[in-house]
Amino acid sequence: QQQVRQSSQSLTVWEGETAILNCSYENSAFDYFPWYQQFPGEGPALLIAIRSVSDKKEDGRFTIFFNKREKNLSLHIKDSQPGDSATYFCAASASSGSWQLIFGSGTQLTVMP
């Protein structure tokens, strides 16, 4: 049973478009949702994160939209650049109880020039 699910294994967009990466979760206790970005040959690195008390978090071209009722969230990458081509992992954890991060399977984003 996958607690954090990313609906697309891969996504291709053109340079300048908005890339939308989707994520859903099952555990209502999850209250922290980071997105990690991984380039080939490197380890993942934190890109942006949101807590369940918010429905939106913005950082430059990256925005997380969060829907607590539907148990889903999405990462929007505005004005996508070829340098954004990477694998993006959605993750979740609960600040009470087991606080370990649970990762989704990742979405490989390709931005075509």
Partner 1 sequence: EAAVTQSPRSKVAVTGGKVTLSCHQTNNHDYMYWYRQDTGHGLRLIHYSYVADSTEKGDIPDGYKASRPSQENFSLILELASLSQTAVYFCASNDRGDTLYFGAGTRLSVL
Site residues, partner 1 (CB under 8 A): 6, 9, 32, 34, 36, 41-46, 49, 89, 93, 95, 99-101, 103-106
62-47-64-67 Cα dihedral, nearest 10 degrees: 170
What does the alpha-carbon distance between residue 33 and residue 90 come to, in Å, rounded to a whole number?
A: 7
Nearer of residues 42 and 70 to partner 1, judged by Cβ:
42
Q: Closest distance between partner 1 and the C-beta of residue 45, in Å?
A: 7
Nearer of residues 65 and 103 to partner 1, judged by Cβ:
103
Nearer of residues 25 and 89 to partner 1, judged by Cβ:
89
Which residues make beta-bridge pairs with 23?
Answer: 73
Q: Closest distance between partner 1 and the C-beta of residue 46, in Å?
A: 5
Q: Closest distance between partner 1 and the C-beta of residue 78, in Å?
A: 23
**Distance between the two ends of the chain, CA-based, in angstroms?**
37
